[in-house]
């Protein structure tokens, strides 16, 4: 049985409290996970589970400049694999890579400018294989994520939000052929706002 979860969560805050009332802010995260169960046959079963949950929140408020901001990113990845059967091998494998970035900039002064960006990318693969025998193998992968940000300046207010839910399921039961089931999802979301 192979199992691995790699989770990196980073955030950055850049503030310039000068007379121009500028604020810049960014958050990012990255998840890489593999869950694999291999069963060679015999009495019993094998089971593997990965779970990664995160939440990032950043908040800023300046009463003097009337600038306030909020950023929030959340995500939940669950990978589940089961294999059994008296005869023949079984394999269940789930792979996921997910990353997201969001940031904004508010610049005051003579030429005020406000901008915000959100990017959410991911690749999800769920595969089950049951060659050479009777038995059962299943795999499930689920990801739910949310990005939201709100920026308010004396010149206006902006709000961006994007969310996604992905569910992949595959099952093979009681066959003597060599079936393989593969689910693949490529995800690319992006938003950009600029106001002058």
DSSP 8-class letter at 154:
T
Taking the model in full, what pTM does it have? 0.78
| Residue-level pLDDT, tens digit, the chain, 196 residues | 555 544 444 444 443 334 455 777 788 989 999 999 998 888 889 999 999 998 888 887 878 778 788 888 899 999 999 998 888 788 999 999 999 898 888 777 676 677 778 888 999 999 999 887 788 899 999 999 998 988 887 777 888 888 999 999 999 887 667 788 999 999 888 887 776 6
The structural domains of the chain, with segments of one domain joined by +, span 2-195
Angle at 29 between CA 23 and CA 32, to 5 degrees: 170
Whole-angstrom distance, CA of residue 81 vs CA of residue 125: 13
């Amino acid at each position: 049985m192979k199992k691995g979860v790699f989770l990196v969560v980073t955030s950055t805050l850049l503030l310039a409290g000068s007379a121009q009332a500028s604020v810049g802010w960014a958050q990012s995260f990255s998840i890489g996970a593999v869950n694999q169960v291999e069963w060679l046959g015999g009495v019993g079963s094998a089971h593997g589970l990965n779970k990664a949950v995160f939440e990032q929140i950043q908040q800023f408020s300046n009463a003097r400049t009337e600038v306030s901001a909020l950023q929030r990113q959340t995500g939940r990845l669950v990978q589940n694999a089961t294999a059994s059967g008296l005869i023949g091998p079984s394999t269940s494998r789930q792979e996921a890579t997910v990353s997201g970035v969001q940031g904004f900039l508010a610049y005051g002064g003579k030429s005020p400018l406000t901008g915000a960006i959100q990017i959410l990318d991911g690749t999800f693969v769920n595969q089950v294989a049951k060659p050479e025998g009777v038995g059962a193998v299943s795999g499930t992968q689920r990801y739910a994520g949310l990005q939201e940000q709100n920026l308010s300046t004396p010149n206006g207010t902006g709000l961006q939000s994007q969310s996604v839910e992905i569910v992949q399921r595959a099952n093979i039961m009681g066959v003597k052929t060599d079936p393989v089931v593969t689910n693949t999802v490529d995800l690319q979301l992006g938003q950009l706002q600029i106001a002058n």
